[in-house]
Amino acid sequence: MPEAWIPVTDIDYSIVPGPNFETVRLMFKATPCSGSNCHFGGRNHLQVDKTADQLYSYMLKLTTLQCGKLIDTAHPAESALVKYLRGPCGGLERMPYFTCVEDGDPACVPEYYIQFIEQWITNGAPR
């Protein structure tokens, strides 16, 4: 797990990181975030403060405001979830917002996590 991340307890680390939904959950929970500017209970469109089952069905249905479907199993690399982890999309900056600008910044989600997430989507994004 990247050093800049917050330790998270309710995750099954025997399968993380891997091409699975648990890896997506860990990424959101472990990414430092403050105030109302992130995805936990703030004013943003994407809200991830949900139980695992709720989060799963929510994410699979979500279309982002500027970057198309959050998860696109027909075109995995076009999924907004993957695109925002690698760079800006639409008019919005790369995620995690402000703290990850270039590859290698400590707050960036490491490439091997992004590849697992893309692989999970390629596999049909199973629960």
Could you tell me which of 107, 113, 75, 112 has the C-alpha nearest to residue 94?
107
Tell me which residues in 96-115 interact with ligand HEM (CB under 6 A).
96-98, 109
Could you tell me which of 32, 41, 21 has the C-alpha nearest to residue 107?
32
Asked whether the beta carbons of 109 and 96 are under 8 A apart, the reply is: yes
Handedness of CA 38, 43, 45, 49 (dihedral sign): positive
Minimum Å distance from CB 40 to ligand HEM? 9
Minimum Å distance from CB 35 to ligand HEM? 8
Determine if 46 is a binding residue for ligand HEM (CB under 6 A): yes
Determine if 79 is a binding residue for ligand HEM (CB under 6 A): no
Binding residues (CB under 6 A) for ligand HEM: these are 27-28, 31, 33, 37-39, 44-46, 64-66, 70, 80-81, 84-85, 92, 95-98, 109
